[in-house]
């Protein structure tokens, strides 16, 4: 059983469309991180959120941490082929050990 | 830039062999981690270490052991490899930091096949 459930598992969209990826849990996390992984490489950190209700923006990517610190979302505006990859959320209770979700595989078609 | 280097990108071993996966980081990070990544399951923590000679079991430690004799090196050992250990193995390192703000820096992975 995954501690963090991500949805959708797969997403295939056209360039220019918007999308949202969800990361949900029944547990409260001290902080939550989002990573992107491209084929043949390890995951790379996109953002860390630590405060309930926090919203962070990274160019066309908007990350939100739920008020109760149990869930998070990643919204991409006007997706581009370069956004293609596996998006992973990871939460921690004790600041050093992270639990990863199963990932959302995004394909943006030109 | 932090660099985490895993010794092999691809490895093929036989059932019953003892397998060593090596990981080295160059940024003096206290924490090091070994994960395995399987389709639909995300990353699952096998072991982690927060200091030299210290280790803690993750979620799936059975069939694995680890060694951390030096701060920069963290080794994963498959004592007697089995076919269900065929997977992508990822090593990561991070600083010990307040409130989990510290990123984990990952290597590019070792794709291990057990025949």
Q: Where are the beta strands (DSSP E) in B9-107?
A: 10-13, 19-25, 31-38, 42-51, 54-57, 64-70, 73-78, 87-94, 105-106
The chain A residue lying nearest B47, using CA atoms, is A97
Q: What is the distance in angstroms between the Cα of B111 and the nearest Cα belonging to chain A?
A: 10
Picking from B43, B46, B110 by the largest number of A CB atoms within 10 A of its own CB, the best residue to mutate is B43
The pLDDT of residue A95: 61
Which residues in A lie closer than 8 A to residue B104 (C-beta atoms)?
Answer: 33, 43, 45, 90, 98
Query: In the A/B pair of chains, how many CB contacts fall below 8 A?
Result: 73
The average confidence (pLDDT) of chain B is 92
Tell me the pLDDT tens digit for each residue of B98-113: 556 788 899 999 999 9
Tell me the pLDDT tens digit for each residue of B14-41: 999 999 999 999 989 999 999 999 988 8
B65 pLDDT more than 90:
yes
C-alpha to C-alpha distance for A65 and A12, rounded to whole angstroms: 24
Tell me the pLDDT tens digit for each residue of A61-110: 999 999 999 999 999 999 999 999 999 999 987 767 888 999 999 999 99
The pLDDT of residue A92: 87
Which residues in B lie closer than 8 A to residue A6 (C-beta atoms)?
Answer: 42
C-alpha to C-alpha distance for A66 and B11, rounded to whole angstroms: 41
Please say whether the beta carbons of B50 and B57 come within 8 A.
no
| Cβ <8 Å between B108 and A42 | yes
Q: Provide the percentage of residues in chain B whose pLDDT is more than 90.
A: 78
Residue recorded with tokens 């941490």: A65
B46 touching A (Cβ < 8 Å): no
Which residues in A lie closer than 8 A to residue B103 (C-beta atoms)?
Answer: 33, 45, 48
Please say whether the beta carbons of A4 and A15 come within 8 A.
no
Bond from prior residue into A19 cis (ω within 30 degrees of 0): no
Please say whether the beta carbons of A32 and A23 come within 8 A.
yes
Please say whether the beta carbons of B88 and B36 come within 8 A.
yes
B38 touching A (Cβ < 8 Å): no
Q: Where are the beta strands (DSSP E) in A17-103?
A: 19-24, 31-37, 44-49, 55-58, 61-65, 71-76, 85-92, 98-100
| Cβ <8 Å between B41 and A2 | yes
Residue B7 half-sphere exposure, CB side, CA atoms within 13 Å? 11
């Amino acid at each position: 059983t995954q501690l963090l459930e991500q949805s959708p598992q797969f997403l295939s969209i056209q360039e220019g469309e918007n999308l949202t990826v969800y990361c949900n849990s029944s547990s409260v996390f001290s902080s939550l991180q989002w990573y992107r992984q491209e084929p043949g490489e390890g995951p790379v950190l996109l953002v860390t959120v630590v405060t309930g209700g926090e919203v962070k923006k990274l160019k066309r990517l908007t990350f939100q941490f739920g008020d109760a610190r149990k869930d998070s979302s990643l919204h991409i505006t006007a997706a581009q082929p370069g956004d293609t990859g596996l998006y992973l959320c990871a939460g921690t209770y004790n600041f050093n050990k992270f639990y990863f979700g199963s990932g959302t595989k995004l394909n943006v078609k030109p | 830039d932090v660099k985490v280097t895993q010794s092999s990108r691809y490895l093929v071993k036989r059932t019953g062999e003892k397998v060593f996966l090596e990981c080295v980081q160059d940024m003096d990070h206290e924490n090091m981690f070994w994960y395995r990544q399987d389709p639909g399951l995300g990353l699952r923590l096998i072991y982690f270490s927060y200091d030299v000679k210290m280790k803690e079991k993750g979620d799936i430690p059975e069939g694995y052991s680890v060694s951390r004799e030096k701060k920069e090196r963290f080794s994963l050992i498959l004592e007697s490899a089995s076919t269900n250990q065929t997977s992508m193995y990822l090593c990561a390192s991070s600083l010990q930091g307040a409130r989990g703000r510290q990123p984990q820096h990952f290597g590019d992975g070792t794709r291990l096949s057990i025949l």
